[in-house]
Amino acid sequence: MSTLPQTPQAQATPQYEYLTGVVERLTFHSEESGYTVARLKTSQSRDLITIVGSFANIQAGQTLQLTGLWREHPQYGAQFQVTHYRETKPATITGIEKYLGSGLIKGVGPVTARRIVAHFGLQTLDIIETQIERLVEVPGIAKKRIKMIQTAWETQKAIKEVMLFLQSHGVSTTFAVKIYKQYNDAAIATVTNNPYQLATDIYGIGFITADAIARNLGIAPDSEYRYRAGIVHVLGEAAEDGHCFLPQAELVEQVVKRLSIKDHQPNSRAIAQLLVQMGMEEQLIMQGHREHEFIYYQPSFYYSEQNLASQLHHLLARPVAVDLPRVLNWIERFTQAKGIELSAQQQQAVEMAASQRVTILTGGPGTGKTFCTRTIVALWKAMGKSIVLASPTGRAAQRLSEVALMEAKTIHRLLEFDPKTMKFKRDADNHIEARAIVVDEASMLDLFLAHSLLKAIPPDAQLLLVGDIDQLPSVGPGNVLRDLIASEQIPVVRLTQVFRQAAQSYIVSNAHRINSGQYPLLESVSLNPNSDCLWLGAPEPQYGVQGIQELVTDVIPQLGFDPARDVQVLCPMTRGEVGTRHLNGVLQGLINPPSASKAEIKSGSIVLRVGDRVIQQVNDYDREVFNGDLGTITAIDLEEQEVTVQYQERRVTYDYADLNEITLAFATTIHKSQGSEYRVVILPLYMQHYMMLSRNLLYTGLTRAKQLAILVGPSKAIGLAVRQVKDAGRYTLLAQRLITQLATRF
């Protein structure tokens, strides 16, 4: 019989009780909130006790003294609701072994922990604390490993102090480690003085978290620190939506809304006055008038936009000396030798690339952008020009390399980013060594990457920008390619003729139908037709999930594709039943299920496993891996607390504390797929995504498929996506700046 304490009757005053025990295992632990469900072994009960509460740091093997209340859960029975806890040293051999091998200390995994405890027994923790050099007595532990363990032990003690301080302020264990890494011994002082600094310095901690910490610390809701942070936060949110600035009225309105809390309503006039006072001091610039009101930039945005226009102005001001008859003769000989014929539009593009300083080549799928680019590169080679090719992503660079038959790099590699200085080595003082530069997937260029690229282009070089302006705009701020075309100051060739071979593809023909506002021609999956563009009309999201599972396990393998290598699910959103978060868990279980031979680690709410496909979520210049890069987990080292991911160009190792930089990528958003191609694309489209559904979203997702596209969902959602034309209305002034600056040449 179990001696589990019974749930007490409801009383007017809660009757707190006390438990001491060893954490046997974690049922659930959220890194974000700290909310935990765990199983506790106590001397008072033969059965494990379920404990529930918020824990800053909890590991299997820890010995805890708990204060709390018994509650009866209607489904799971008796649970101990923890209100306070304190960690004590484990008192048993098993407890010490679990504690050491839990991943708490880098350099000590389960195997090493077992050896140490087998040698020192109950004295293990005292030995590590006071005589750590004695670990050399343990077989297999060298002095180098002892030094690592000592550093990790001391760091863990310091981190624990920070964690205890932050625990009551709702900061997760992962962020506590990052805070300690950022500020070291000054962590608590920094957080106490100005918690809003966390939002600036630490990836993953935003204004909302910093604001919650500030309120717990007693910082006044009308504090200037808070108002300034709110202004910067709103401008940062606007940048995430692609804007380079905000008009004053919109900025003030959003700041007031963001800073409003139950007991405080900010004054919009006070916010407007603070904007003027902040000026350059707070990294803001007030620039000109727009419809009789001021607009506000963060300075990096303002200077990048202004300088980008200026760089283009200087580049375009230098005419290109070219022998056009000789170029025309070369084109004729080249096409005859290859047995090919250029369309009038393609001929124009090749001639323009030869004679103009900057050329833009745009067009949809099947219009010959690839062939045109290859011809231009061949012409430049014949003209004796040194050429470099680049693209915003690794996958796009690889494809460009295959197209042009020469090496292509990511723009970051071309510009030689230096993680020590956090700057590109190639800039205005150290130009790219080339006289002809091709940049593919130019629709992905955001303001900052375009600015860095233009700075590094030699004044006597020629630039070809290739991209499809009907795709989604860049993930980052700005709308560079569209603005360059809209300015009408740069030569543009738009390819519109779809060639016969490409027109035979339903992917290509449907992309053009969607672009012109027509519903795509789709064959039903159930008919098993000979088409590369199929539809599975699952009416509700839950049926869509089931349908995707059947596609991955049955239909797609029958069509000759490998789900593990060839299939990519692209979603409009991360949330919802058919969003990336839920589908990644479903697809992971199908494509890379758990196995005794595959190491795995829990990171936040997801499990990462050897063999998983993952995506980088932020630019990490130290590791030279960038937002949107796809890779595969090749190793998880439980001893060293490291996860290794193989990306296309390099192998990258992450500490556990940095795992929030990556997430599962069996399903990704359509936005994240830009610049990539996949053999098979599955596109779930449902009305729960209605805020995101748009023509260019569907067009972009469909054109990621090389051989097979399968749309999943009701026809109503597909039709809505076709009808909704959401122009990328971003606040930018690049086109106007180009018009102003370039007009001065005439």
Q: Are 15 and 69 in contact (CB under 8 A)?
A: yes
Tell me whether residue 367 is annotated as binding: yes
Structure tokens at 119: 């040698």
Tell me whether residue 368 is annotated as binding: yes
Tell me whether residue 420 is annotated as binding: no
Q: Are 23 and 62 in contact (CB under 8 A)?
A: yes
What Å distances lie between residue 385 and 140, 360, 370, 403, CA to CA?
Answer: 59, 19, 20, 18
Q: Are 442 and 470 in contact (CB under 8 A)?
A: no
Tell me whether residue 50 is annotated as binding: no
Among 625, 596, 629, residue whose Cα is nearest residue 610: 596
- Strand order from edge to edge, sheet including 662-664: 651-655, 642-647, 630-637, 613-616, 662-664
Tell me whether residue 580 is annotated as binding: no
Taken in order 631, 426, 232, 306, the sign of the CA dihedral is negative
Q: Are 642 and 148 in contact (CB under 8 A)?
A: no
Q: Are 74 and 58 in contact (CB under 8 A)?
A: no
Local structure of residue 498 (DSSP, 8 states) = P
What Å distances lie between residue 379 and 216, 407, 662, CA to CA?
Answer: 66, 17, 42
Among 158, 157, 174, 59, residue whose Cα is nearest residue 657: 174
- Strand order from edge to edge, sheet including 285-290: 245-247, 293-297, 285-290
Cα(87)–Cα(70) distance, integer angstroms: 20
Cα(681)–Cα(395) distance, integer angstroms: 16
Count of CB atoms within 10 A of residue 601's CB? 19
Taken in order 616, 483, 689, 261, the sign of the CA dihedral is positive
How long is the chain? Answer: 746
Provide the β-strand partners of residue 712. 536, 684
Q: Are 400 and 438 in contact (CB under 8 A)?
A: yes
Q: Which residues are annotated as a binding site for ATP?
A: 366-370
User: Which residues define the annotated binding site?
Assistant: 366-370
